[in-house]
Chains A and B, each alone.
Chain A
């Protein structure tokens, strides 16, 4: 892999609580290469959204505390102050969120918000930017873009609004787009459209994408590489084909088994028994072992570390033979 666009090392996000400091993200490390689409998958509460937000410095601190390194173009983003971060946000690294309707300011016209997003980072004049805003709306597939650019957010459906957000995200041609559950709030049919839009733009702009989702199915359609998170930690990382062909970690295997297949009729939907432990009640040893079908005695005593499980695959499990 050539020089990665983003390199995360030992990222920690900690919150104070009545039971002491809790680590919602506990030592996460990964990299995203140029033009690569990386998926970050896990159940709700695994820490994926916090990881994504921590990259752009969006975690409120206080009450949170962020540690580790987030290297982008040689700089540790966590060391930057707000003004410097603001220059990077939207320009070099963009982010779109789960609820598109709520991500747009309801009292400003959509076109004006697009123009603002560009005016912050690009030096062009207003008129140029306004034309470009209309172009962008057209490019992300909004019909009658010239008229729609003067509309307010509440006049857009969920899918349309997410297209607008994507347009705003790529307006300044960032090197990396972070997409936090971009399709979770949308209908299934619209999901596919939005995902293919992201994929097309990533290809056209040579943009890397960090796609955060709890839906392994979406990840499988979109990503080159997958990172699986559980209870604040990475438990597996591998290219997409490897993950589906030969998942190394029992949690990954369980997630894959839960995916309903088109050819399975009448069998019950799979589920992983139990729930992910809360941060204040993490089990001793491997965090997944109470729900794991193949746990051994060792798993309840010693926490596994990430170790190679294949030529380009790592997993944190005692049963993985290097």
Chain B
């Protein structure tokens, strides 16, 4: 288990390194003079030369990367050339709403998918099964931004149950914050649930076919305990992995959902930054986003190792 842990951490660092190289390369490929862009209105010949030297533009690419990486590791993600605020502050302020949206969506998704997948597996090939799996494919295929718009149209414009746009941190004002998150969380969450329900179903069906379930039944274990204890304990382990790995997909989906619901998250920040050519923000947002994904993936793998006795107790 310890060996697995160490090797996974090593792998994570390798991935982070690769990611940093990719981002650095992308940023360097942007047409135009980055130093000029960074100075913006504060351009003077002297400032230009100084910044250029400081960032190492007169040295080799590898040195530039090293300087760049050092700054990042220190937490200095640069400054927005538009309003001269620290990128790290901007990104962090934008990350929290995105995170709460993703977490809320995962909760909604799991609450819908788990019962749906279990019922579908237990009543295989029945109307329940086809119905819930058909529904799963349906919501999984709907583009999330369109789904959001339709939900707004129905629930905000017509029924006036929920506000259409706006965001409040749920930890600052629980009711207001959660209420505003309902529609966005349903938008992203149902997409997520469509995926997870099908996986739960197939995982559970596969487990129910196993010999140990038959043997347990032959010992007198009742049907309820067979499914909810013996089978589910095994079936949910790979599902946990899948759920965790979907964090990245949800983060991507959040980008679009935020735009629809006016949530001041990473998505809106990044898109606005691109349209404004404020590349320091784009870089910072991407780095933080990918870092979050990589950390969650690592956590997922470690959780899996913990849950699976074959790895936990070698």
Contact = CB atoms under 8 A, between A and B. Distances in A.
Contact of A106 (B221, B222, B309): B309
B221 A116 contact: yes
Size category of the A interface is: 20 to 34
A104 interface: yes
A107 B234 contact: yes
Interface in B224-243: 230, 233-234, 237
B221 A107 contact: no
Contacts of A83: 222
A111 to B, nearest CB: 13
Nearest to B230: A105
A272 interface: no
Output the residue of A86, A94, A151 with the most chain B CB within 10 A. Answer: A86
Size category of the B interface is: 20 to 34
Nearest to B236: A107
A99 B215 CA distance: 10
Given A106-B234, A108-B233, A154-B310, A90 B220 contact: yes
Nearest to B309: A152
A175 to B, nearest CB: 14
Interface string A119-136: 011000000000000000
A152 B311 CA distance: 11
Contacts of A80: none
A200 interface: no
Contacts of B215: 95-97, 103-104, 165
A91 interface: yes
Nearest to A117: B219
Nearest to B233: A107
Contact of B220 (A105, A107, A121, A165): A121
B218 A154 contact: no
Given A97-B211, A105-B234, A56 B218 contact: yes
A155 B212 contact: no
Given A58-B218, A94-B218, A106-B234, A82 B223 contact: yes
A103 B211 contact: yes
Contacts of B218: 56, 58, 89-90, 94-95, 97
Contacts of A168: 219
B219 A90 contact: yes
Given A86-B220, A97-B218, 17 more contacts: A82-B223, A94-B219, A97-B211, A97-B215, A99-B211, A103-B211, A103-B215, A105-B233, A106-B234, A107-B307, A107-B308, A108-B233, A120-B220, A121-B220, A151-B313, A154-B310, A165-B215
Interface of B: 210-212, 214-223, 230, 233-234, 237, 307-310, 313
